[in-house]
Structure 1
């Protein structure tokens, strides 16, 4: 019986030794690399300088967070159909989050819901998806401030009186329509009573079409004093049209543009001033926000505060929206400095 006990003890010791050895071997092995969070940024269209700058901000956020991979993508032309096809592919790739600037607020809702059902966190930025299709919408600025700012710049350029027209992106672009609505509200104010909006046209955020639409405005409205383009593609095209038609000093262009693209138009005299927020900051903040949702730190509830890295924090309103920063004005005094950045 003593021999049996001795044998059992020996076996127990041997088992424990093997277990300890196995544990030691396991500890000696390098830990598996943590799987990275994959965040897809779906923009209105590729080749757009505004979104290229937003991509730089997304990459900055990814580097700062350390465990993020950015997938930057978008259709070749700014259509909802193109974005739907891309998002469908991203669902198959099982990305963790999708950050999208929508070409059509409502058309993207069904595919965005499908992504959410697969556990993908969907947020929109710049141009929003309707509330039912996303957790949050990051607006680059306050819509009223953006609308009023553009009317103010046009008024200053034309001396407070005259005909103006709007050259927008797509007719379905959420942000464009909201800003146009705010511009019309501003025009109803007494201080802008001598300015008359004579037309609103759409260039679909395509350079060639925007240029043709700008030419159409200049030729159809001989008394036109200003073209307001709340789109970086449109304002650039309108500036070129004014120069080509030899109307510098007679018709002014303003709106939302990139300093790198608008510096030449400011120097030509076609543009006195324009505005934009920093798209790098916008892309950075949107990526940082998406990461918070993936990590479960935010759910998109009314009043939630979302951390956005070096940009501080943003607070969601009852519609799940938040504004990042007020628009900044660029003119001959500062455009060259910022043109080196974006």
Structure 2
């Protein structure tokens, strides 16, 4: 994967096509190959014959299982999925836990959905391996499994719908913060849960980016975890600045974390002196950009991510694709997509938001 230094400036334009880059399991979801989790289950890609020209089956039920229900990010993503699924004439449902770290709760929901004989599950995994046994049991019973936003081990699902190249996300967040602090000073990362697949993958690329000579005067002092909980993330931000009063910047690659960190900084003496970037939604971050707490941050369109997961699930359930690399399918207005290495489909490049463009977006 080649990192891109000038991210796409407009998410609003529909994605016509996406270039898929060959990545290893560790680059697209933070998983490891040959995991023992669910090793007796189906292989990652079905060998069944497919018909790319087949019509979408009708009467399918596509169930969404986000990391956390009532999380604003997943509300947007899953509503995008609902719109796509229902536009195809299928049935949409959403289930999930109210906690972003309840892996046993996610397992229970997978088991219930399997018993209900849904046709496909679109899941954002809280842990790369914890769901494997349940998901592979679902697959043995004919349920197609699509992961979106956060992946499982590669042998526990059919396709992973990635929001953007993991490398692009990890490296560009370092670049954004480095520009803001003049390539010098102590920085910290405020993540979600310690087991979050996507978070750990992005952080891995952040650490690798920081090894470059250009960042020799930047020191990562700590990775803190807010568990995608607003109060915990707020307290973690406060704790970081108490522990490191000379901190120059924070990267928070989680929409809950960056908003909580911005809230704390906005009302503190650190506003304008401690820089903050990461992944956030324009609606959550607009006030903090406009009041000078945050200069820039990035994200993809979560509604389109949810929609792509829905289109992928229907294509799998209809026999149009099996998840094998090189297969192509059409995702409505989003355009045509090609399945890449490790059965990964990439939505597109992240968009950088700042004072010059944030008013143009509403999500």
Task: Give the one of 175, 190, 195 matched to 2:218.
Answer: 195
For 2:214, what is the secondary structure of its paired residue?
helix
Cα distance in 1 between the residues matched to 2:79 and 2:179: 33
Equivalent residue number for residue 106 of structure 1: 129
For 1:119, what is the secondary structure of its paired residue?
coil
TM-score, reference length from structure 2: 0.82
| Aligned 1:169-318 pairs, distance under 5 A | 169-318=192-341
Task: Give the one of 90, 99, 114 matched to 1:68.
Answer: 90
Cα distance in 2 between the residues matched to 1:314 and 1:330: 25
Asked whether the equivalents of residues 122 and 309 of structure 2 are also in contact (C-alpha less than 8 Å), the reply is yes
- Deviation track 1:39-79 (CA, whole Å, cap 9, x = no partner) reads 001000012111111122112212321x2111112111012
Cα distance in 2 between the residues matched to 1:246 and 1:48: 29
Cα distance in 2 between the residues matched to 1:193 and 1:50: 34
Change (3 A) 1:192 1:306: farther
TM-score, reference length from structure 1: 0.87
Aligned length: 306
Equivalent residue number for residue 13 of structure 2: none
Change (3 A) 1:235 1:133: same
Cα distance in 1 between the residues matched to 2:305 and 2:292: 29
Report deviation, 1:318.
Answer: 3.0
For 2:222, what is the secondary structure of its paired residue?
strand
Superposed CA RMSD in Å reads: 1.3
Pick 1 or 2: higher relative contact order, CA cutoff 8 A, min separation 6: 2
Equivalent residue number for residue 148 of structure 1: 171
Change (3 A) 1:69 1:331: same
Cα distance in 2 between the residues matched to 1:170 and 1:313: 33
Report deviation, 1:227.
Answer: 0.8
Cα distance in 2 between the residues matched to 1:134 and 1:54: 19
Report deviation, 1:283.
Answer: 0.5
2:60 matches 1:37: yes
- Deviation track 1:277-323 (CA, whole Å, cap 9, x = no partner) reads 00011011110010000001111112222322222222223311121
Equivalent residue number for residue 79 of structure 2: 56
Who wins on radius of gyration, i.e. which is larger? 1
Cα distance in 1 between the residues matched to 2:243 and 2:336: 47
Q: Specify which structure has the higher proportion of helix.
A: 1
2:151 matches 1:128: yes
Report deviation, 1:261.
Answer: 0.3
Asked whether the equivalents of residues 233 and 260 of structure 2 are also in contact (C-alpha less than 8 Å), the reply is yes
For 2:110, what is the secondary structure of its paired residue?
helix
For 2:175, what is the secondary structure of its paired residue?
helix
Cα distance in 1 between the residues matched to 2:70 and 2:302: 14
Equivalent residue number for residue 29 of structure 1: none
Gaps of 5+ in 2: 1-56
